[in-house]
Structure 1
Amino acid sequence: MSRADQTTTALSGGLPQRVVLGLLIRAFPPGHVDQIVDVLGRREQRHRLLPARLMVYFTLALWIFGELPYEEVLGEIVRGIPGLTYPPGAQTASAAAIGRARRRLGVEPLRLLFERAAAPAAVLNGPDPLLPGGWRTLRLGRIAADVPDTLANRAEFAVRGSETGSAGAAAGPRVYLSLLTDDLTHRVVAASVGGGTDGGRDRRLLASVSPGSLVVLDDERPLSAGLWTAVGDHGGELLWPVPEGPALPVHHRLPDGSGLSRLPAAAGAARIVRVIERGSCASRLVTSILDHRKAPADRLTAVHDRNRAHGNGFRGITAYQGGDRIVLRSKSPDLVRQELYAMLCVHHAIGELVDFTLLEARQPPVRSRQVHTHAKRPYSGALRPR
């Protein structure tokens, strides 16, 4: 189970491992973990060497101690988290036993742990300062992760020819993580895991969209009536980059240079949209916001391009492993999903620290009463200011 052939975990290199472990305990205290385990009925019925609570923290810790084999990861968290101890006289668990305990735990505790953590993030940030209309911007994107080439993973996550990037190129199984993130804080609002570039998975995510949200698609893809309708049904708006190709003739030019058009029949018959040409850029932006005063073309372009240099705004995850790709270690689809939801939980825990730090930085400096109190104490040193 060693990851010696993979890159060093930048998460543990950027922050001391003990600090990150402390962040996990702060974000997911043992009582909270126990409640989720009980709600899902995963509490062990007899005394086990590897109880459910321990395995939740173990799965989270896989993203902290990335290079270590299973046995050593377990040892790190048993030593580092209060209350997680082996039964008296018990021997250290083997990698095989840890694998079986992960399968008993399943994906649902980690999924629920993430969803409960993400719920407050869904209303964390206010209107986008770039948009006069006051929309909150969310970004919809996908990231891919390579998984071990086992029969089970290949059956679930086989890469189709259109996804290999080159004709006939052999590719191992790959899992896709669809993400809806807050475009300013980069906090994840919703996520879904599956094989292939499945539009249905993205549509399910858009159930998290609330009125007054602008959903920015992170990648160029064919216009889809399903996604367009899913956002509109929840009171949201769309900003969609499209490559050159589909005919979008402008029927009325607006003062900001954008123009009104209609979606092709295949993407939603008779739907009026606004098209923003990108000059030398090959792609155009198509939006459902028709009022150029509330969202001028240059502002929408700036919103779309804001996080392009960093991928989909979820740039922290691939950096955790010190490279451009996420590489998982789980050999079955259920554990692949478990590992990815654990990754999202770790991202949330670090995001909480970042949010707290930024909030403190925004506070205006104030004079502490304690400072004045110290100033009034009788002088006891050798140097007195003149």
Structure 2
Amino acid sequence: MVQGWVDSGRPVARPDQASLEALVAAVPRFAVDEAVEVCGVAEQHWGKKLLPHVTAYLTMALCLYSDDEVEEVAQKVTGSLSQFGAWDAAWEPPTSSEIMQARKRLGRDVLRETFYRAAEPVATRETRGAWLRGSRLMAIDGFGLDVPGSAENAAEFGYAGNGRSRSAFPKARVVAVVECGSHAFIDAEVGPWNRSEKAMAAALLTSISTDWLLLADRGFYSFAAFSAANQTGAGLCWRAPTQLSLPILKVLPDGTYLSALVNPRLRGRQREEMLQVAKSGAKPDPAGAHVVRVIEYDVPDRDGGELVRLITNVRDPEDATAVELAATYHRRREAEAANGRLKTVLRGPGKVLRSKSPDLAHQEIWAYLLVQYAINSLICQAATGADIDPDRISLPGTLNIVRRTATGAAAFPS
């Protein structure tokens, strides 16, 4: 039995299936090579050791072994490289300085472009907890990462708080789209702390897929954001802000009701005319309004009760009941869990990133996103094969197996 691989103790995979080779399979060499080409870094002088793809995988390895010094990580993984023609066994492992210079040559954008090419939904139709009536459950959420307090990082990312009370370190903000079933990040934006999550999400909402049901908390709502996401044809189930006006247009048999989201730029007579169009059953101009279904329910165990209002473009109760959508909305916490997995398990609680310059800090963040994606892809595949929910598989146990096997069975592509 593989101890720590499944919380229940039920084995679902052999240790060799959780090697670094399996992780690299989730971030294939061609994706790295395409990113190197797009970013124009192949033309630089790389020497014969730390080529662009080797540097990319070494940077990911630095995230996999977040507790180890740079040269220790190099000692662990370069032995595997020689088995696949990417490293001469007679060479000395690279020094910390050599790796730093290679990372600088790689730049901030290669791993971001690699992520865009490699990350994709991994749950299959057989994956438990990943679907609602044929719609893939996805969620959007944000989190912060502490970066070293160099003057350059402070200027790039800024601090949380204000001049009188601010965070100990500069913070980068990450907004990511997460596949609920697998906990894998499949799209992301990285920026300074003073950029709001809502503003950063705007770049992600136009590229969602028609077979998704995207879940979002009330902090992500704006008329523009909902409009952009709605135009993709994807299903949406978002929590409405407390102050959002949701006039009742029609009460549905299940107790939910149709309402209209009206562009806040329309006021007075224009707003009333748009509401009348929506109430008549005609489709309003999407630049002015959207007809949505509203689901209201109480959460009684939260400080005397809390009213939750969900807005969804799944308007027909036959397509999804109110109970189904209410239960599904709370799967949004899978995104919070995914954030926590990166911050407290992969990176480690309270840890600050390694990189003291903005370019390398961006590079390191994308490396963490890639490693998180790869590990959760591996977990999802194992869980699907065993017909259990991926939530039942221990991430720390899986990560320990990967780290133990990385020095022997890792297959970095040549």
| TM-score band w.r.t. shorter chain | 0.7 to 0.9
Secondary structure, aligned partner of 2:292:
strand
Secondary structure, aligned partner of 2:25:
helix
Secondary structure, aligned partner of 1:210:
coil
Matches within 5 A, 1:331-346: 331-346=356-371
Equivalent pair of 1:125/1:182 in contact (CA under 8 Å):
no
Aligned pairs, how many? 343
The yes-or-no answer on 1:104 pairing with 2:102 is no
Which structure 1 residue ranges, 5 or more long, are not aligned? 1-9, 364-386
Q: Note the aligned Cα RMSD (angstroms).
A: 3.5
Cα distance in 2 for partners of 1:124, 1:309 equals 17
Aligned to 1:62: 62
Offset, 1:264: 5.2
Equivalent pair of 2:239/2:311 in contact (CA under 8 Å):
yes
Aligned to 1:360: 385
1:220 to 200, 213, 218: 218
For each residue in 1:107-161, what CA deviation from the matched residue of structure 2 results, as whole angstroms up to 9, or x when unmatched?
A: 3321232222124x278558988745x4332211112111111222222211354
Task: Report percent identity of matched pairs.
Answer: 30
Highest relative contact order (Cα 8 Å, sep 6+), 1 or 2?
A: 2
Offset, 1:53: 2.6
**Partner amino acid, structure 2, of 1:106:** G
Which range moved further: 284-293 or 243-252? 243-252
Which structure 2 residue ranges, 5 or more long, are not aligned? 6-13, 266-286, 299-304, 389-414
**Partner amino acid, structure 1, of 2:356:** K
Report the structure number with the largest CA radius of gyration.
Answer: 1
Cα distance in 2 for partners of 1:233, 1:45 equals 45
Aligned to 1:170: 166
Aligned to 1:71: 71
Aligned to 1:184: 181
**Partner amino acid, structure 1, of 2:80:** G
Report the CA distance shift for 1:325/1:290 in structure 2 as closer, same or farther (over 3 A): farther
Secondary structure, aligned partner of 1:263:
strand
Aligned to 1:24: 23
Secondary structure, aligned partner of 1:271:
strand
Equivalent pair of 2:141/2:335 in contact (CA under 8 Å):
no
Equivalent pair of 1:139/1:183 in contact (CA under 8 Å):
yes
Matches within 5 A, 1:1-386: 20-28=19-27, 33-34=32-33, 36-38=35-37, 40-43=39-42, 44-45=44-45, 47-81=47-81, 82=83, 83-85=85-87, 93-119=94-120, 121=121, 131-132=132-133, 134-159=134-159, 161=161, 168-171=164-167, 172-195=169-192, 196-217=195-216, 219-221=217-219, 223-263=221-261, 265-266=263-264, 269-279=288-298, 280-308=305-333, 311=336, 313-321=338-346, 323=348, 327-362=352-387
Cα distance in 2 for partners of 1:362, 1:18 equals 17
Question: Structure 2 length normalisation: TM-score?
Answer: 0.71
Question: Structure 1 length normalisation: TM-score?
Answer: 0.76
Offset, 1:40: 4.0
Which range moved further: 323-332 or 15-24? 15-24
